[in-house]
Amino acid sequence: MTVRWGVLGAGWIVRTATAAAFHDADGAVLQAIGARDRARAEALGPRIAYDSYAAVIEDPDVDAVYIALSNDAHLPWIVAALEAGKHVLCEKPLTLSHDQAVEAFALAEHRGLLLVEAAWSRWHPRMQRLSELVASAGVGTVHEYEGSFTFSGVPQGNYRLEPKRGGGALLDVGVYPLHGLVATIPDPSALAVIDVVHERHRGGVDLTTSADLQWGPGTRARITASFIQPEHQQLALAGSEGRIDLPGNDAFTSWRAPSTLVVDGHVEEFAPVDAYRIMVEQVSTVILGGTGWVVPPRDSLAVAHLLDMLRTEG
């Protein structure tokens, strides 16, 4: 059995990674792509290419839709795809606010359809192992977390610099360390912001956000997201019985390269994988009624809530 996927958009992430993941994945077929420029969609090799997103969701041969549009377009197209009876995998951040995420998951539940945030780093075996270690109290009770994702060089004209289109470093790359955080502490709803600092672009989006949070006495999380700092990714945490580090500069984007995780000096090695492909395979398996892992709605909602808090404070 196979899930026939329709893709909305043929932008950077689709061209660089996800079109190939749909082609390579078991249990999935790249049925359709819609883009404003039909030729750009066709070049990615779907069974059929369209020059509109509506044509994809209306295609009766499409079972599930992957949304890879700019962030402001996520909620409208999640709603349209669910209303058309399609399961949805939507790029991160799922929506622009917690209220929007609640609305989206409520509609999916009402329609009996799957809605999943494509926070691809969560499917990487190293990240799965990290969650497993923490859940089994492998390093005791976690009391410290540090997560950062910074880079420089967003081109002028890109939606990432436009507030109305869901731009800003926090929504773009802050989502990754926040997903790491909600995956590794027992109760994300206990998280409170201690301090947050934004450095803003003249257009209004945050170019850098640094924040300290806590989830109980003696705990601390530090999150950094930036469009103007040197390329850097880090995930490290400390528990009452030890610490875990993800060495290298690819804590959230390890892709087709070997990776390691260090648990109190002991190195665990991971073979190169395409976590986008794993994501497509797992989501397809769940759609087909099998057993697979997908980012739980609880985690997407918790991240949406944190994004709201961090964007409005400071």
Ligand X SMILES: NC(=O)c1ccc[n+]([C@@H]2O[C@H](COP(=O)([O-])OP(=O)(O)OC[C@H]3O[C@@H](n4cnc5c(N)ncnc54)[C@H](OP(=O)(O)O)[C@@H]3O)[C@@H](O)[C@H]2O)c1
Question: What residues act catalytically?
Answer: 92
Q: How far is the C-alpha of 72 from the C-alpha of 147, rounded, in Å?
A: 25
What is residue 174's DSSP assignment? I
- Minimum CB separation of residue 28 from ligand X in Å reads 16
Cβ proximity to ligand X: between 9 and 297 the closer is 9
Cβ proximity to ligand X: between 105 and 120 the closer is 120
Cβ proximity to ligand X: between 75 and 84 the closer is 75
Q: How far is the C-alpha of 222 from the C-alpha of 228, rounded, in Å?
A: 18
Name the residue number minimizing CB distance to ligand X: 11
- Minimum CB separation of residue 13 from ligand X in Å reads 4
Q: How far is the C-alpha of 55 from the C-alpha of 8, rounded, in Å?
A: 10
- Minimum CB separation of residue 278 from ligand X in Å reads 13
- Minimum CB separation of residue 173 from ligand X in Å reads 9
Phi, psi of 14 (to 5 degrees): -70, -45
Burial of 103-118, coded b for 16+ CB within 10 Å and e otherwise, reads ebbebbeeeebbbbbb
CA distances from 36 to 30, 136, 163, 279 (A): 18, 47, 22, 26
Residue 274: CB atoms within 10 A of its CB come to 19
- Secondary structure class of 87 (helix, strand, coil): strand
Cβ proximity to ligand X: between 71 and 300 the closer is 71
Residue in the structure block whose two tokens are 């945490």: 237
- Minimum CB separation of residue 10 from ligand X in Å reads 4
Cβ proximity to ligand X: between 30 and 118 the closer is 118
Chain residues in the site for ligand X (CB under 6 A)? 9-13, 35-36, 68-71, 73, 91-92, 118, 120, 158-159, 172
- Minimum CB separation of residue 153 from ligand X in Å reads 13
Q: How far is the C-alpha of 16 from the C-alpha of 256, rounded, in Å?
A: 13
Cβ proximity to ligand X: between 21 and 211 the closer is 21
In the structure encoding, which two tokens stand for residue 164, read together? 């109305």
The three-state (H, E, C) secondary structure of 185-214, written as one string = CCCHHHCEEEEEEEEECCCCCEEEEEEEEE
